[in-house]
Every structure is written in structure tokens, then in C-alpha cells.
Amino acid sequence: MFARDRKTPIAEWWWTIDKQLLSALLLLMAVGMLLSFAASPPVAERLGLSPWHFIIRHAVFDLLAIPVLIGTSFLTHRQARIVALIVLFGSIVLLWLTLRLGVEVKGARRWISFAGNTVQPSEFVKPAFAIIGGWLFSEAMQGRGVFARSMGTLLMIVIVGGLLLQPDIGQTALVLATWAALLFLSGISWFLIFGLAGAGVGLLFGAYYMFPHFAKRIDTFLNPEGGGNTYQVDKALNSLLEGGWFGRGPGESLAKKVIPDAHADYVFSAAAGEFGILFCLCLVALISFIVLRALAAAQQQQSLFARLAVSTIAIQFGLQCAINLAVNLNLIPPKGMTLPFVSYGGTSTIAIAFGMGLMLALTRTRPEERMATGIPAYRGSGAIVPAE
């Protein structure tokens, strides 16, 4: 089945896929499953559920995500664009429908219900936008799409508009960062880069005055003694400290038993209490390997589209991980951002599998799509240009 001389789709996939990157992603999913056993039973018991409730659901989400990851990695570049385009427009429609038909939780409408299950469309928007944005910006760089960059920017505005109305500041920041990465990699001037940085600061101030819940989180972060609710953050920091270098052992962490979101947004803190700082450093190293491996693989692709799309989706993945870790370490205000493949969450897990599958598809070593002369040159701010 996997012999090199076999011309079956499976054999071709096996010999062209980035096995190290695939293995790292599957290992990250396995770590998430392990931490689900450690962190989720106390949360389930506090909610009056079976201790196995979140563990079983996490396993089901992984079993759905793995076929998505593997199946998507079989796609050609053209098929990846088509699938991403369909997912992007479908997700944008659902994103705007949540404003009217969505499930309201704590004053925000970010989820839409299907047959008793809730879906967060913004999770699928992110990887699909990275792929389609990479395609549009690559077309503009090669002079084949006069308005392609403008179309990419228009898509960003439509997505961000829907996210702000929900409101969802965290996902808005990720989509804006994805668009900014595309701009940087496509070679905009440094003058425009500094202008966009200034605009980003202005947007933060605007969000502070427009969204009371966002302002409250900022105020509480800057002044914890001012009366804001810091219970979960405090308990998460306690879990980080109590574990020491090697942890208290499986099931022995005390702080994780009182962290409301120990299985989701604060799973990293729960891991520190159970398995220690060394385990957490290994987890950070694994995430870093995935990001750096993807960025390196992107630079070896002949297709400008593949280089832009893979680089952008790797940056997006790394930034989401960085935000979650920073929240756990109390370096930034809480954002409600999952740790990819580790935190509990059905939509998040499957959407990230979809994005990583597209990344694997675009980095497969097809002979007609490899670089002939190694790593390409850079021009301008961060422009990726074809090798000479």
C-alpha cells in the first residue's frame, strides 16, 4: 500500500506528506487527550455531570478531527482553494446569522445551534481566510489580480464587522493579525506598516470605550485590587506555582479542582499543577516546532500561493497558542482563546484540524511544486518572491 512504486493515492500521500509535521500535530492531540483526563473530571463534577463527560466528548471531537486533518491533507493546491472558498463563504454567512439566530451566552452571540449542538462559525473563518487571503495576495503580487488585495481586505472587513457585533474581540484580533501577516509577507512599505501599527493601537482604544466587558477586563488586569473578578486567574497562577518543576502527580493538583475552565482556556495551568513546569516547557517546545517547521516548509514551495498561505496559517496557529499561554501566565487580560488541540472544544478542534490539514496539503513535496534553488529571496518589508 505504501511502496514507492505504487501509484495509489494513499502511497503518493504517504511519500509526499511532511511526516514530522503530521506526527507533531498528532502528538499535540494526544497531549490534549491526556490533559483532558487530568483536568476535566473536577469540572464535570462541579456541574453535576459524570466525571467522564468531558473526557468522552473530547475523545469524540478528536476522532472527528483526525479524519478531517488526514482527509484535507490529500487535496491538491487547486482543491484546497476551492474547499477553503466554500468553507469561508459558508462560515461568513453563519457568522452573520448568529447575530439574529445565535445562542446568547454572557451577552455575546457567537454560537449557532444545529440539532442540539452548538457551532462557532468564527473558528472556521480563520483558517479559510488564511488560505483564500494567501491566494488573493499571491495573485496581486504576480499581477494577475488587479483588485485581489482589495478583495482580501474587503473580506477582512466583512468578517471583522460580524465579529465585533457579536462581540468577539479575541477572534477579531486573530483575523486582523492574519490580514496584517498577509500584508507584511506580500511586501508593503515600512511606512504603511507603522501606519497600520498606529491604527491597531487606535482600535484597541476604540474597543475599550465601545465594549464595556472588554474595558472591565482591561481595568481588572491593570488594577486587580480594584474590585474586579480575578478568581480564575488567581487560581490558575496558584496551579502554575504549586506544581514546581515536576508537578504534584496525576490527579493531585489542588488548584485545578477549583478553576472553572481548567479543561478549556486554563488547561495549561492545570497541566503545570499536575505534571510540572518541565512538562509545560516540553509542550511549548512542541508547539514551537510545529510553527517553525511549517514556516520552513513554506519557504521550500515553488507556488507563491502555497508560501503565503502556509506562512500565514502557521503564524495564525502560533499566535492563538501564544495568546492562550499569555492568559494562563497573566501576561494579558483573559481572552477566552483555546489552546489548539489541547483545550476542550468541538468546533475549535475540528476547525484547527481543517486548517492544519490544508497546511499539510500545501506543503506536500510534489515534484512540480518544489523550489528548484532553495529558499527564496525577500524584498521590501517581508515580501516572498519567486526564486530566480
Task: Answer yes or no: is 333 within a domain.
Answer: yes
Structural domain harbouring 334 = 14-190+225-366
Task: Give the SS3 label for residue 270.
Answer: helix
Query: pLDDT at position 333, please?
Result: 85
Task: Answer yes or no: is 217 within a domain.
Answer: no
Regions in the chain scoring below 50 on pLDDT: 368-381, 385-388
DSSP state of 102: S
Task: Answer yes or no: is 233 within a domain.
Answer: yes
Query: pLDDT at position 2, please?
Result: 56
pTM confidence score: 0.88
Q: Please, which residues bridge with residue 282 across strands?
A: none
Q: Name every residue whose Cβ is closer than 8 Å to that of residue 22 and which is 6 or more positions away in sequence.
A: 73, 360
Task: Give the SS3 label for residue 301.
Answer: strand
Task: Answer yes or no: is 96 within a domain.
Answer: yes
151-205 pLDDT, tens digit each: 998 999 999 999 998 888 889 989 999 999 998 888 777 777 778 778 878 877 7
Task: Answer yes or no: is 210 within a domain.
Answer: no
Task: Answer yes or no: is 270 within a domain.
Answer: yes
Task: Answer yes or no: is 197 within a domain.
Answer: no
Query: pLDDT at position 379, please?
Result: 41
Query: pLDDT at position 199, please?
Result: 80
Query: pLDDT at position 306, please?
Result: 94
Going by C-alpha positions, the residue among 39, 22, 34 that lies closest to residue 59 is: 34
Q: What are phi and psi of 383, to 5 degrees?
A: -65, 135
Q: How far is CA 191 from the centre of its chain?
A: 29
> Total structural domains in the chain?
1
Task: Answer yes or no: is 126 within a domain.
Answer: yes
In order of 130, 141, 204, 207, 288, the CA distances from 212 in angstroms are 30, 41, 13, 9, 35
Q: How far is CA 243 from the centre of its chain?
A: 27
In this structure, what C-alpha cell is assigned to residue 357? 490539514
Long-range pairs for 368-371: beta carbons < 8 A, 24 or more residues apart: 368/302, 369/77, 369/301, 369/302, 369/303, 369/306, 370/300, 370/301, 370/302, 371/299, 371/300, 371/301, 371/302
Question: How far is it, in rounded angstroms, from Cα 28 to Cα 331?
Answer: 24
Please say whether the beta carbons of 39 and 262 come within 8 A.
Answer: yes
